[in-house]
Structure 1
Amino acid sequence: MTTFPIYQIDAFADRMFAGNPAAVVPLDGWLPDIVMQNIAMENNLSETAFIVRCDPATDGAEFHIRWFTPTVEVPLCGHATLASSFVIFNILGFDGDLVRLQSESGILTARRDGDAIVLNFPKQPIVAEDIPATVTAALTDAKPSATFRVASRDTDFVAVYDHASVVRDMVPDMSVLGTLAERGVIVTAPGDKPGIDMVSRYFVPAFGIDEDPVTGYMHCVVAPYWAEYSGKANVVGYQASKRGGIIDCTVDGDRVHLKGNAVLYLKGEIYLAD
């Protein structure tokens, strides 16, 4: 019997039972992909992150990181990176305030900022594109003022609305959105409360997640849009899921800095038969 530690972290939250929960599994070396996928499926969280120490001299980073939803491996995930960074800084005894993580999306960094952690992620450009009418109808009766797709991943649709209440009150038909193979839908609107520049949600039933609670990757899509709209480099987003969460975003060229807190919920062990 082989055992591995596992931690569950509430990311982009300053209290338990808020933000987005992610599992983090530190490893000495990669397990077979099917085993990691099965662990993620068993966890049944939107993301499970696996991290492996590496040699900074040869890899340019201190850790490798990979992310799995319950059904697929994904190339980028913000909240599970924040959760992994929390584990690295607070549990694994990492010496330093900046850690580099090698990923499928290149080198990502996480930096301590008081009690918070700031992630340095790649901006996700969007291009104007019509969304199928069946999809917009499945979201809400209101019509979006603009529609896009995420160019860098050629997957997610983006629908922009004029009023945050439309986004907050949305009850999508997941049976329709679930037919979008390898596509999710991001919906966003200008903020409606002081200190909030944008309100957004992210639906990804095709990846085994009806609605992601708080999404770092998504804010690399919407933050540049609203930063350009407002003329400000720093914008604050609220993700209006049931759990909800706030992400402080700073757009810096082709990068987006995502600032948030994280809270340890549980720690345990995974038992695998040899």
Structure 2
Amino acid sequence: MTHTSLPVYQVDAFTSHLFAGNPAAVVPLERWLPDGVMQQIAMENNLSETAFFVKVADGDADYHIRWFTPTVEVPLCGHATLASAYVLFNQLGVTGDEIRLQSKSGILTARRDGEAIVLNFPAQPLTEEVLPENIASALSSDRAVACFKVASRDTDYVLVYDDAGTVRHMTPDMSVLATLAERGVIVTAPSDSDDCDMVSRYFLPALGINEDPVTGYMHCVVAPYWALKTGKTNVIGYQASSRGGFIDCTVKGDRVHLKGLAVLYLKGEIFLPD
């Protein structure tokens, strides 16, 4: 049987060392595969996100990027974009300092900053929402001081707490959250330590991911909120998952600049039957 071979990389994003941050798969393509095949590859990789990108011949971008969870395609993903930029800069020989990426969320950029990479992403505004009883029950906490939805998608719930310990020690009932028509639930609180400004977590079992380890998109939600609350333009977020990770966030109008490191874990080949 003949086959087509595709390169694949796995990168730990938003971390300076292996086995921390958020792992993403990156699959560079010469041309797009059928959507169903890309979804199957993402399911086989069994990571929170697999990024695919294709070089753009002309226009405002250098590459077109798409992201898939094990079950669906999503319109925006930070850590897999950071992983893709890391591969382009460090494995595929891109020599410039900035990469422009066409996506379902518009043009995104990834810029070298020493060893780090800075992503320029759209901020995600919030609209106030009444906290549904089933979500409060699933989180085993009705002590949220505010509840919102992400306005651009009308999907993710965002619950704000006044105690970081509540966020850190939360043990959600994932079977309940998996039944939500909405995409996921973000919980966030002001920091309880000097090394960050806010502590957050992101649960989305409806997309096949119980808890995302370190999420760039989520910080486009919580960073503008806490920047407004604290009066700062630069805020440090800590995502309190089991792997954990910090993201340096700078809010500039309707954009959020996410700064982080990445580490290569593996590179190999995918074999697809012709």
Letter in 2 for 1:30: W
Q: 1:217 and 1:136 mapped to 2: Cα distance?
A: 23
SS of the residue corresponding to residue 165 of structure 2 reads helix
- Which residue is equivalent to 2:72? 72
Distance 2:175 2:168 in 1: 20
**2:111 alignment partner in structure 1:** 111
Summarize deviations over 1:170-201 as a string: whole Å, max 9, x none: 00000110011242000000011113100000
Q: Per-residue deviation at 1:137?
A: 1.7
Q: Which amino acid aligns with 2:35?
A: D
Query: Which among 15, 18, 27 is matched to residue 16 of structure 1?
Result: 18
Residue identity in the other structure for 1:170 = M
Amino acid at match of 1:245: G
Letter in 2 for 1:95: T
Contact 1:128–1:147 (Cα < 8 Å) also in 2: yes
1:79-98 equivalences in 2 (<5 Å) = 79-98=79-98
> Secondary structure of the residue that 1:92 maps to in structure 2?
coil
1:6 aligns to 2:38 (yes or no): no
Distance 2:69 2:11 in 1: 15
Aligned to 1:43: 45
CA distance in 1, matches of 2:182, 2:19: 29
Q: For 1:218 and 1:64, how far apart are their aligned partners in 2?
A: 22
Please give the per-residue CA displacement for 1:224-253, whole angstroms capped at 9, x wherever unaligned.
000000000000000000000000000000
Partner of 1:178: 178
Count how many residue pairs are aligned between Structure 1 and Structure 2: 272
CA contact (8 A) 1:142 1:166 kept: no
The partner residue of 1:53 within 42, 52, 55 is 55
CA distance in 1, matches of 2:141, 2:253: 36
TM-score under structure 1 normalisation?
0.98
Residue number in structure 2 paired with 1:141: 141
Q: Distance in 2 between matches of 1:36 and 1:145?
A: 40
Deviation at 1:74, TM superposition (A): 0.3
Q: Do the aligned residues in 2 keep the contact of 1:48 with 1:68 (CA within 8 Å)? A: yes
**Backbone CA RMSD of aligned residues:** 0.7
User: How far has the Cα of 1:95 moved from its partner?
Assistant: 1.7
Distance in 1 between the 2:140 and 2:115 partners?
38
Q: Which residue does the alignment assign to 2:233? A: 233
Matched residue type, 2:81: T
Report the Cα distance in structure 1 between the residues aligned to 2:177 and 2:167, rounded to whole angstroms: 16
- Paired letter, 1:255: R
Q: Which residues of structure 2 form unaligned runs of 5+?
A: none
Q: Quick one: distance in 1 between partners of 2:245 and 2:140?
A: 22
Report the 3-state secondary structure (helix = DSSP H, G, I; strand = E; otherwise coil) of the residue aligned with 1:226.
helix
- What's the secondary structure of 1:23's corresponding residue? strand
Normalised TM-score (structure 2): 0.98
Indicate the SS of the match to 1:59: coil
Q: 1:169 Cα shift?
A: 0.1
Name the structure 1 match of 2:62: 62
Q: Deviation per CA, 1:136-157, whole angstroms, max 9, x where unpaired?
A: 1211235100000000111100
Unaligned 5+ residue runs, structure 1? Answer: none
Which runs of structure 2 are paired with 1:232-271 in the superposition (5 Å)? 232-271=232-271
Show structure 1 runs of 4+ deviating over 4 A. Answer: none
Distance, in Å, in 2 between the alignment partners of 1:266 and 1:9 is 7
Separation of aligned partners in 2, 1:112 and 1:182: 35
